Every structure is written in structure tokens, then in C-alpha cells.
Amino acid sequence: MQLEDTPPQATDHARRQHFASDNYAGMCPEAAHWFNAANGSGHAPAYGDDAWTTRVSDRLRETFDKDCDIYFVFNGTAANSLALASLCQSYHSVICTPVAHIETDECGGPEFFSNGSKLLVADAGPDAAALGKLTPAAVETMVLKRNDLHYPKPKVVSITQSTELGTVYSVEEVKAITAMAKQHQLKVHMDGARFANAVATLGCHPADVTWRAGVDVLCFGGTKNGLPVGEAVVFFDRTLSEDFSYRVKQAGQLASKMRFISAPWLGMLESNLWLSNARHANAMAQRLREQLALIPGIKFLAPTQANAVFAQLPKPAIDRLQGDGWRFYEFIAGGGCRFMCAWDTTEASVDAFAAAVAQALKAD
Ligand SMILES: *Cc1c(COP(=O)(O)O)cnc(C)c1O
């Protein structure tokens, strides 16, 4: 039987690029190349004992200029949940922002996998909150709020880089937060689902905004950056990863054919493609922002420092755009519309979407 290579309803209309999430994009050719290379190399040991996984782990250690411990899992929810569980006992707590993915979009995964560690949502004040950021002062307020044994003891600070609002912490901001964390014996977790986009913006060495800045564990996102699937959990402090492989296995996150998750990373790490993919996505978001800024009635909700544009549109315009088949989220990070660019978003797609937004607003 001959199978079509497109989904049944894939008209030109449905095949257009969308701005809902960077995970709408497929895998980049370089990731596909190494995926196929791993497949073409025949049998290999299972559960991560293969040469591909070793090679990619070594490459990641070189990338971070650090002898760190690395694990591969299927998705970001598992990466965050398991990393946090490894840093906490069940009576501990994790300080984060109200818009943190671990708080709003992981279905209680961090609490579940840690057997109950509570997430403490910090109020960082209007300025930082508008950027989706945590501050040292907010961390300290949370830590000092209670110190009795009736309250879950703060143990970890979790920050997202780039943030859920498409902003980026500077190296100095990260250092200030980790300094406060260390002062109170807290570990620091970084949700890096879009770590690449942040590093592309900062232009710094990836070590400068992670372990050299005091981050203990990074969940390094690959999926949104161009992999088919998979995130790397990077423990810069190896003492924190004890028994982590058991956690991964118990959570159903240990890929038996792990080489198909790890090998595609070679494509991302070769010639720093992870950074050029991210730079492209960021540039497309910048292009979209510039075009939207020309439309009367547009109100932006956050600066565009990575690959997202947040804007407020009138409801009828939203309905018109969605009626016309454009996909984007309205519920992410506290309202407004989120337009996300990916490694493969084209200038033509940005231009077509910006024109559609202009049209939808004009009709009001
Ligand atoms: C996408 C994303 C994740 C990972 O989500 P999964 O769907 O579980 O892979 C984690 N954190 C942030 C900030 C994200 O945007």
C-alpha cells in the first residue's frame, strides 16, 4: 500500500508555518542526519551504553567547559521534575515565579516526582514580574518568611532562561540570584527549555550564565531548538546527580534505544548549530515585532529578547486570525497573545502573519 507523505487534511492552508510554539517545527536537517547515521550504524548497546550517547555527552562537556554529569530524557517536564526531585526531599520547597513552567504547565510533575516538595511562588514586584523574572530580594523574602518546621523548607531556586515571557536574564542578574541562593544554602535549577535562545541573545559562553554564574543543574532544551525529541539534564555539581539514572528509569524516561535521542544532538553541537538555530528564531521574532509595531492598536506585553513576541489584541481580531487558520496561544504566561518563532520560521511566514494581523485589526 502506498502511503501519502502528508496528513490527510494537509492543504496549503494547513501546511503554513504557525506561531503557537517553537515545538510546532520539525527537526532540523542536521539532527535528522545524525538520527539516520545512528540508525545506519547497525546494532548498538541499549539504555545509554552506546558510543553515540558517550560522544554527545563528551561534546556537551566540551560545550560547557566542565566535567559535568549528563542525562537524556524525552521532554522538559520530566527534565525539570526529575532534576528538582533530585535536589529536594519531600519536605523541601522550590522558589519560582508565578509564570514558571514548573508552576503552570507541568501538571504537578515537580511535586509528584519529589513526593510532595512544594513550589513557592515568589512575588518579585511589578517590574520583575512584568518580565517574568525572579529577583534576589524576592528569593530572600521567601526564605525569611518562615523558619519554623511547620513550613516546607526552601531548598531550591528555579529560574527559566530565556523566561516564559521571552525575556533573558543577564549574567549579572543570574549571579545575583545564585549569590542570594547560596547565602541561604539553596541550590539553583535553570529551566533551559529555551536556553539556546538566551545564550544567542547574551552572546556569552554557555558556562558564563550557568555553572560559572552559580547554577547547579540545567535542563537544556533540545526539542524547541531543532531536535525531534529530547532534553539534556546537565548536573554541573556531580554530587547532586547520585542515583539520577534510577529516577529517570522509574519515571519511564529511560529510552532503551537512547542513541536516537542522543545522536541528533551531534547535529546541534557541531559548528554551534544550537546557537545559529536560536539566533535565527530570535531574529524572526525581532522581525515580527518590528512589523507588528507598525500596526495601530497593537500593545506589546513584554520586551522581545528571545524568540517570542507577546501582544494584546482585541478579541474580534484574535477570532478573525484564528478563524483564518492561524495558530497561537492566548493562555501562556498570564494572558495576551504569544507569537513564537522557531529555528525554521521563514521571513515570508513572518511577513504573511504580520500582514494577517494588520488585516484583522483593520476590520475592527
Ligand atoms: C516547553 C517548555 C518546557 C518543556 O515542556 P515539555 O512539553 O514537557 O517538553 C519547559 N519549560 C519551559 C519554560 C518551556 O517553555
- 15 pLDDT more than 90: no
Q: Which helix (H) or strand (E) holds 203?
A: none
Q: Is residue 173 in contact with ligand 1, taking CB distance under 6 Å?
A: no
Q: Nearest residue CA, atom 3 of ligand 1? A: 76
Cα 42 to averaged position of ligand 1 atoms, centre (Å): 32
DSSP-derived pairing of the beta strands 187-192 and 217-221: parallel
Q: Is residue 345 in contact with ligand 1, taking CB distance under 6 Å?
A: no
- pTM confidence score: 0.96
Long-range CB contacts for residues 32-38, cutoff 8 Å, separation at least 24 = 32/228, 32/264, 32/267, 33/267, 34/263, 34/264, 34/265, 34/266, 34/267, 35/228, 35/260, 35/263, 35/264, 37/263, 38/259, 38/260, 38/263, 38/264
Closest CA to 202 of 137, 134, 274, 275: 275
- 10 pLDDT more than 60: no
Q: Is residue 162 in contact with ligand 1, taking CB distance under 6 Å?
A: no
- 334 pLDDT more than 60: no
Q: Is residue 167 in contact with ligand 1, taking CB distance under 6 Å?
A: no
Q: Is residue 282 in contact with ligand 1, taking CB distance under 6 Å?
A: no
Q: Do domains 12-27+273-362 and 29-272 have the same CATH topology?
A: no
Cα 80 to averaged position of ligand 1 atoms, centre (Å): 9
Task: Tell me the pLDDT tens digit for each residue of 172-231.
Answer: 999 999 999 999 999 999 999 999 999 999 999 999 999 999 999 999 999 999 999 999
Q: What is the pLDDT of residue 12?
A: 57
Q: Is residue 77 in contact with ligand 1, taking CB distance under 6 Å?
A: yes
Task: Tell me the pLDDT tens digit for each residue of 47-98.
Answer: 999 999 999 999 999 999 999 999 999 999 999 999 999 999 999 999 999 9
Q: Is residue 320 in contact with ligand 1, taking CB distance under 6 Å?
A: no
Domain definitions of the chain by residue range: 12-27+273-362, 29-272
Average pLDDT over residues 328-333: 77
Q: Nearest residue CA, atom 5 of ligand 1? A: 76
Count of beta carbons in the 10 Å neighbourhood of residue 251? 17
The domain 29-272 is placed in CATH, from the list 3.40.50.450, 3.40.640.10, 2.60.40.10, 3.20.20.70, at 3.40.640.10
Q: Nearest residue CA, atom 1 of ligand 1? A: 193
- Alpha-helical (H) ranges within the chain are 12-15, 29-40, 51-64, 76-87, 101-104, 109-113, 125-130, 136-145, 171-183, 195-202, 244-250, 259-262, 264-269, 273-293, 315-323, 347-362
Q: Nearest residue CA, atom 15 of ligand 1? A: 193
CA angle (148 as vertex; 146, 154 as ends), nearest 5: 60
Q: Is residue 155 in contact with ligand 1, taking CB distance under 6 Å?
A: no
Query: Domain 12-27+273-362 is in which class?
Result: alpha beta
Task: Tell me the pLDDT tens digit for each residue of 257-308.
Answer: 999 999 999 999 999 999 999 999 999 999 999 999 999 989 999 999 999 9
- 3 pLDDT more than 70: no
